[in-house]
Amino acid sequence: MLDFDRNIILNGSRAEILGYRSTPAIINSASASVSVFTAPLSTAMVASSATPLFLVLLHLGLFIAGATEFHLVHLRDLAAAGHHHRLPNPANNGKLSLDLLHRDAFSGRNFSDRRHRLDHRLQRDALRLAFLYRRLGGYHVDDFGSEVVSGLEQGSGEFFVRVGVGVPPRDQYMVVDSGSDIVWIQCRPCAQCYAQSDPVFDPAESASFARVACSSPICGFLVSGDSGCYAGDCRYEVSYSDGSYTRGTLALETLTFGNVAVRDVAIGCGHSNRGLFVGAAGLLGLGWGPMSFVGQLGGQAGGAFSYCLSSRGGGGAAAGSLIFGRTSAVPVGAVWVPLTRNLRAPSFYYVRLVGLGVGGWRLPVREDVFRLSEEGEGGVVMDTGTAVTRLPPTAYATLRDAFASATAGLPRAPATSIFDTCYDLSGYESVRVPTVSFYFAGGAILTLPARNFLIPVDDAGRFCFAFAPSTSGLSIMGNIQQEGIQITFDAANGFVGFGPNTC
């Protein structure tokens, strides 16, 4: 049976960006095709026993003037823990590639039901959101490096990778955070260490470990003057609003990805650490700044990396992928969208979103609602650590109302946590819901799979529209909306790519 849930509709005007050609297309995975209908679905088609068990993407707008685009969704597909096919992992071919695991699969924690799991995820999300707002509200250009804040405890610990640290390599689980510029792990001797799943890394057992001196230019990225120096060593500190922290010395160390070793990576070696970090040894920062892993790779990776986020749900087999390097990570045929830099928060990847769509129709939302101001306010951040996409209240209300209007025939359910648009679909096997799209600068349009915006919130057949209003002008594209889509950051040239593969 064909798995239609692995299809994405990516539309954009024909353009060439840095040698990458993007054309209007319906992008399909290698193992799936898409059915394109030239007429609206009849009631018989919706109720037919021949309806596929997976998502059917209908791109009606290309063929019918005035038609509304719908997804035909089998609810068992949305309710099941997703198991996407991963992109080929080239780690054994001399390339930097890792499996990317969701924290539910990594932690081994058993939730009593789906609602319990959702509550915990949204609690983490609220903390992450508060961290982002606080960081953007108090950031100044000349503060960069004086305080290194990663946001791990604020909910960014959503996805994990396995990395070898030192020579010989000791495998460690590390949190992936696209909004951080620091790589750090717990180190012996530990004045204070939290519990992690692997033995704590011991620098004395690594032949490649070298402390960074205060006089090193690398230390200048983290400290102002001599304030970070102690006994000739460069000191770092990652602080959190709830009192959690990691403190230690900055060092150069070898990190191993599959069979590829990367030497002289600047990492924080934490000797005093406090917090609940789901067993991870530390964090792999993938932000846009010079101290992130991507920034340090420089010419080795060409400033590029790609990921496919695994599905939520805790299935141990549901793994995504993380790939570094321009040759491996930058796909041919992706749709490229320009990024914008915010000097108040140079770690974050801001994308130039200009509009929203429902059912193939662009909504009446002003472009300036999403604009990043010269003062560093507003804008749209792509973040792996935030689950639910947040939009300014006016944009969210317009999107929600349009979606609710197009689903007026479905029975509503009470609000659930931050979700105010929910449905009782316990009596349904399949439903039609309108498509939801992001419109980007340059004419590109990303139309989301249904599972990326209609999510189950309990085990009784209740589903909710997975967007929420922001409490500020900042918009955040969260990881629920990114799941299963190949996303590539070309940080060196300032673009983010979507597709052409799914995972």
**How many residues does this entry show for the chain?**
503
262-278 core/surface letters (b: 16 or more CB in 10 A; e: else): beebbbbbbbebbbebb
Answer for the pair 282, 174: CB distance below 8 angstroms, yes or no.
yes
d(CA 178, CA 188): 27
Query: Parallel, antiparallel, or unpaired for β 436-440 and 430-434?
Result: unpaired
d(CA 410, CA 433): 9
Answer for the pair 186, 202: CB distance below 8 angstroms, yes or no.
no
d(CA 378, CA 476): 10
Looking at 3, 104, 177, 181, which residue is catalytic? 177
The token duo for 62 is 């290309």
ω into residue 434 within 30 of 0, thus cis? no
Looking at 5, 233, 383, 458, which residue is catalytic? 383
> What ranges in 159-288 are assigned the alpha helix state H?
217-220
In the numeric block, the tokens 């993007």 are attached to 22
Q: Enter the DSSP assignment of 448.
A: P
Query: Of 501, 466, 20, whose CA–CA distance to 308 is shortest?
Result: 501
DSSP 302-353: TTEEEEEPPPSS--TT-EEEEEESHHHHS-TTPEEEEEE--TTSTTSEEE-E
The token duo for 390 is 């947040």
Query: Of 27, 25, 33, 35, whose CA–CA distance to 8 is shortest?
Result: 27
Is 383 catalytic? The answer is yes
Answer for the pair 338, 441: CB distance below 8 angstroms, yes or no.
yes
- Residues marked active site are found at 177, 383
